[in-house]
Amino acid sequence: MKVSTVIGFLILGAVVGGLVATNPTPIAYQAYATEQASLYLNETLCDDLPGAVAEVLQGQCAEVIALGQPQIPTLIRNRTERLNLWVCSIYRTSLGVPGLDFLPSYEVKTLGIVGRFIPLSARQLP
C-alpha cells in the first residue's frame, strides 16, 4: 500500500473520530432547545395568539409564559426523538402545550454536529 493511501486513511479516521467525539449529547440539545423555545415564546408567541386567546389572557401572556418556563426542559426532553448517526445527530421535537389544543403545535428538526446545532426545519402541525 502506498504511503499516500495510508496517510489518507489516517486523516479520514481522524476526521471521523473528531466528528464522533463532538457529536452533541441529548443534554446539550435540551439546553439549546430550551433556550430557543424560551426566545420564541417571549418574542413571538404573544404577538401571534389567535384573537380569542389574546382576549382571554388580557395582556398577561408574558406572565403566563414565565409561569410555564420551568416545565420547558421536561417538555422538550419528553417530546424529542434522537437519531444518532455517530458523526452527527438529528433531533426531532414536537412542541405544543398539553391540554391546550387551541394553541399552535410545531415539529422542529435540528442537526447536531461538531458541538453545534443547526435548525433544519420547523413546521406547524395541523
Question: Tell me, what's the pLDDT at 69?
Answer: 86
| pLDDT at position 122 over 90 | yes
**Rounded Cα–Cα distance for residues 92 and 110 (Å):** 7
DSSP assignment of 71-95, as one string?
GHHHHHHHTEEEEE-SS-EEEEEEE
For 48, the grid coordinates are: 401571534
- CB count within 10 Å of CB 65 equals 16
Query: Domain locations in the chain?
Result: 23-125
Per-residue pLDDT of 59-96, as tens digits, reads 777 787 888 889 899 999 999 999 999 999 999 999 87
Give, in degrees to the nearest 5, the angle at Cα 53 between 49 and 58.
100
Question: Tell me, what's the pLDDT at 20?
Answer: 93
Per-residue pLDDT of 11-42, as tens digits, reads 999 988 989 999 999 999 999 999 998 888 87
Give the SS3 label for residue 17.
helix
Per-residue pLDDT of 46-62, as tens digits, reads 777 777 776 776 677 77
